[in-house]
């Protein structure tokens, strides 16, 4: 490609709002442009990279038996009603009507569509196991898109779906993905870790997320430096200390101006571990008639701990959670600041095991300025016991007892064991060997392509621009010509292309500084400079990689040398790739 013909151009200054380095360079180098909030166009340079990422993904998916398909972005709402997600997902799912008034949705993922396919194609165990995948656009009307390509509304995702006759089969396909994902990210040059995760709106049981660790990440990852246990904070567990005692008589005490745990413990001169605090949320549920309704949830947890909302949502079986308003809490007979389920009409009470297994805790009396001492779960109130504690930096590892650490990460991929969540609700059954009918057991596996590019830009950028690895860089070689009145650069460009080398050729009438700076921004791995200096000695200047010293290579050996350098880049990627197995 000749630079003079390249559709995009470089920007000397960073557009306002380009907060992170990776995002800034993707814009400035001309890989992407923003069209609206969370909506981006991909320009030629960016698209070449995206295509390379996609090809890496395809290779690995085919490797584990995947067959590529494509499903529509627009779905009839019907199938989303069948699984109930039409009702359980909030405005993030965009709905509209077609001209005849039929309900339609923009697919935010394709479990429904693929299950519809599967229920028609798969009728016998003989057709299992099976694996399909697609690389397709998704639309999610995120309430707050941000951070360039990290959190967008329209994006490209590789999503694959596995079908099996039994759980062993699913486990096998799950493990195949687990490993293939490390190869994919490894080939792209992005360091990731896998963490145990919440299955969230996808339903299902086992799930892993692939995280690129970065301070700009929005997910919190809890890690044990000692035994290696890692999990998304949404599901991370920690070892808790309990304080069982002989039960004492419940008693009301006057505790003025003690609306917080800090104020309460200071006033009473006790430890936070001796208190039980109540957290009030409104959960969204769907009734038999598929009507949404909200219900108050009271979460009771020991004062020294905090509630992890994702855990609470799962324990309470709610589709969504939001903080409750004061009137809603009062309506159930409780008082914020002095609240507890004791004596209330709350129907959904989730009690953390820290509270259930400790005794004689101080709790709210639902009366302004009063608390109850010596309250005990089961004796004074009941509820569902669950682990709803948020593991934090310094919490104790449940496996080995060491202190946990916390870090930030960006989710670039995930794998879910869906089980029969979709096959059952949509009637995707097969006939087994013994003649019985059983729901197909499914898995779903995603990789955000654009987000992967954003993370790569973040990870590999230098102070002067992008620096994508050769496996995904838009071109392998950047040929910078600084000579005039010579047919040699054109000839060299043609020769390299003929040899299958991907070349970006800067033949513009611009000063050397402009060309070098643009080359730095675009960040093609190998740079060849043709200048009068070198041509006198019949040689060109070759820089084998970002930040490396350049060396003079005689023209006769140039193409061979370049090919060697390309090969060594690829070898390096392979050698440094870390592939984990489940």
Strands (E), 91-143: 95-97, 103-106, 130-139
Site string for RNA, 90-109 (x = CB under 7 A): x-x---------------xx
Structure tokens at 170: 């699913």
Distance CA 196, CA 236 (A): 8
Member of 46, 145, 217, 339 binding RNA (CB under 7 A): 145
Q: Give the shortest CB-358-to-RNA separation in angstroms.
A: 27
Q: Which is nearer to RNA, 201 or 432 (CB)?
A: 201
Residue 411 in the binding site for RNA (CB under 7 A): yes
Q: Residue 428 and residue 439: Cα distance in Å, rounded?
A: 6
Q: Kindly tell me which residue out of 241, 532, 538, 568 binds RNA, with binding defined by CB under 7 A.
A: 532
224 neighbors 230 (Cβ within 8 angstroms): yes
Please name the residues in contact with 389: beta carbons below 8 A apart, sequence gap of 6 or more: 237, 238, 240, 301, 305, 306, 307, 308, 311, 352, 354
Count CB-CB contacts under 10 A for residue 324: 22
Provide the 8-state DSSP code for 348: E
Does 36 contact RNA by CB under 7 A?
yes
CB of 100 to RNA, least distance (A): 27
Can residue 75 be called a binding residue for RNA (CB under 7 A)? no
SS3 labels along 218-231:
CEEEEECCCCCCEE
Q: Phi first, then psi: give them for residue 301, nearest 5 degrees.
A: -140, 155
Tell whether residue 143 is a contact of RNA (CB under 7 A): yes
Binding to RNA (CB under 7 A) within 170-229 occurs at 197-202, 209, 218
**Number of Cβ atoms within 10 Å of the Cβ of 224:** 22
Q: Is residue 443 at the binding interface for RNA, with CB under 7 A as the rule? A: no
Q: Which of 206, 392, 514, 570 binds RNA (CB under 7 A)?
A: 514
Q: Judged by CB, which is closer to RNA: 128, or 442?
A: 442
Annotate 515-556 with DSSP letters as a single string: HHHHHHHHT-SEEEEE-HHHHHTTEEEEE-STTPPEEEEEHH
Q: Which span (240-248, 260-268, 321-329, 385-393) binds RNA, by CB under 7 A?
A: 321-329
Taking the CB of residue 424, how many other CB atoms lie within 10 A of it? 16
Q: Does the bond joining 145 to the residue before it have cis omega, within 30 degrees of 0?
A: no
Q: What angle is formed at CA 53 by the lines to CA 25 and CA 197, rounded to 5 degrees?
A: 90
Nearest distance in Å: CB 111, RNA: 10
Regarding 38 and contact with RNA (CB under 7 A), the answer is yes
The answer to whether residue 541 forms part of the interface with RNA (CB under 7 A) is: yes
C-alpha span between 361 and 375 (Å, rounded): 5
Q: What is d(CA 258, CA 76) in angstroms, rounded to the nearest whole number? A: 54
Q: What count of residues does the chain have?
A: 582
Q: Render 77-93 in DSSP notation, one character per residue.
A: HHHHHHHSHHHHS-TTS
Identity of the residue, 116 or 209, whose beta carbon is nearer to RNA in the bound complex = 209
For RNA, the binding residues in 446-465 under the rule CB under 7 A are 446, 448, 464
Task: Report the C-alpha gap between 522 and 500 in whole angstroms.
Answer: 21
- Which lies closer to RNA via its Cβ, residue 145 or residue 358? 145
Q: Which of 293, 435, 437, 484 binds RNA (CB under 7 A)?
A: 484
Q: 348-352 and 361-367: which strand pairing?
A: unpaired
Q: Which is nearer to RNA, 211 or 342 (CB)?
A: 211
Residue 428 in contact with RNA, rule: CB under 7 A: no
* Closer of 448 and 469 to RNA (Cβ): 448
| 202/315 with CB nearer RNA | 202
Nearer to RNA by Cβ, of 27 and 356: the residue is 27
Closest CB to RNA among residues 18, 470: 18
Of 6-35, which residues contact RNA (CB under 7 A)? 10-17, 19, 34
Q: Does 525 bind RNA (CB under 7 A)?
A: no
Residue 236 CB, nearest approach to RNA (Å)? 15
Task: Report in angstroms the alpha-carbon separations of 579 from 14, 159, 508, 574.
Answer: 37, 20, 43, 10
Could you tell me what percentage of the chain is helix, strand and coil, using 3-state DSSP and rounding each to the nearest 5?
30, 30, 40
For residue 459, the minimal CB distance to RNA (Å) is: 19
Per CB under 7 A, the list member of 144, 249, 291, 327 interacting with RNA is: 144
Beta-bridge partners for 202: none
**Rounded least distance, CB 470 to RNA, Å:** 19
Of 4, 37, 368, 379, the one binding RNA by CB under 7 A: 37
| Binding residues vs RNA (CB under 7 A) | 10-17, 19, 34, 36-39, 90, 92, 108-109, 138, 140, 142-147, 151, 155, 157, 197-202, 209, 218, 309, 320-323, 411, 414, 446, 448, 464, 482, 484, 511-514, 516-521, 529-534, 541, 550
């Amino acid at each position: 490609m000749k630079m003079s013909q390249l559709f995009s151009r470089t920007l000397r200054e960073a557009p306002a709002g380009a907060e992170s380095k990776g995002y800034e360079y993707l814009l400035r180098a001309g890989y992407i442009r923003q069209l609206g909030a969370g909506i981006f166009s991909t320009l030629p340079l960016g698209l070449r990279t995206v295509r390379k990422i996609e090809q890496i993904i395809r290779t690995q998916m085919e490797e584990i038996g995947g067959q590529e398909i494509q499903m529509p972005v627009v779905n009839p709402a019907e199938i989303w009603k069948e699984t109930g997600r039409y009702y359980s997902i909030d405005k993030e799912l965009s709905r509209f009507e077609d001209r005849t008034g039929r309900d339609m949705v923009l697919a935010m993922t394709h479990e429904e569509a693929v299950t519809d396919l599967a229920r028609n194609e798969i009728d016998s165990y003989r057709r299992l196991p099976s694996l399909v995948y697609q690389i397709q656009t998704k639309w999610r009307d995120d309430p707050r898109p941000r951070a360039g390509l990290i959190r967008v509304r329209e994006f490209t995702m590789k999503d694959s779906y596995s079908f099996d006759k039994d759980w062993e089969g699913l486990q096998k396909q799950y493990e195949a993905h687990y490993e293939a994902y490390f190869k994919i990210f490894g080939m792209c040059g992005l360091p990731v870790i896998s963490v145990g995760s919440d299955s969230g709106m996808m339903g299902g049981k086992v799930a892993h997320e692939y995280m690129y660790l970065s301070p700009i990440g929005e997910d919190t990852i809890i890690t044990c430096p000692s035994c290696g246990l890692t999990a998304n904070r949404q599901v991370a567990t920690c070892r808790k200390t309990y304080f069982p005692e002989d039960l004492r008589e419940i008693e009301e005490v006057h505790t003025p101006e003690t609306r917080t745990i800090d104020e309460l413990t200071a006033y009473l001169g006790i430890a936070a571990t001796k208190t039980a605090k109540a957290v009030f949320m409104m959960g969204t549920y769907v009734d038999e008639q598929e009507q949404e309704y909200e219900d108050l949830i009271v979460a009771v947890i020991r004062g020294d701990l905090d509630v992890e909302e994702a855990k609470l949502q799962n324990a309470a079986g709610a589709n969504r959670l939001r903080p409750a308003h004061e009137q809603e809490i009062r309506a159930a007979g409780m008082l914020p600041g002095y609240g507890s389920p004791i004596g209330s009409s709350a129907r959904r009470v989730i009690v953390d095991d820290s509270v259930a297994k400790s005794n004689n805790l101080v709790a709210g009396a639902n009366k302004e300025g009063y608390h109850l001492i010596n309250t005990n779960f089961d004796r004074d109130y009941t509820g569902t016991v669950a682990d709803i504690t948020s593991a934090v930096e310094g919490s104790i590892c449940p496996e080995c007892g060491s202190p946990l650490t916390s870090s930030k990460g960006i989710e670039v991929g995930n794998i879910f064991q869906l089980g029969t969540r979709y096959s059952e609700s949509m009637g995707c059954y097969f006939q087994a060997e013994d003649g019985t009918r059983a729901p197909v057991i499914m898995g779903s596996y995603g990789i955000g392509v654009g987000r992967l590019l954003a993370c790569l830009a973040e990870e590999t950028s230098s102070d002067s621009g992008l620096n994508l690895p050769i496996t995904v860089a838009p071109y392998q070689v950047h040929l910078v010509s600084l000579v005039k009145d010579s047919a040699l650069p054109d000839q060299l460009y043609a020769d390299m292309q003929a040899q299958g080398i991907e070349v970006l050729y800067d033949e513009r009438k611009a000063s050397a500084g402009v060309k070098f700076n643009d080359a730095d921004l675009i960040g093609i791995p190998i740079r060849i400079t043709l200048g009068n200096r070198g041509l006198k000695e019949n040689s060109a200047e070759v820089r084998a990689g970002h930040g490396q010293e350049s060396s003079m290579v005689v023209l006769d050996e140039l193409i061979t040398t370049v090919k060697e350098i390309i090969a060594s880049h690829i070898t390096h990627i392979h050698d440094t790739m870390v592939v984990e197995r489940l």
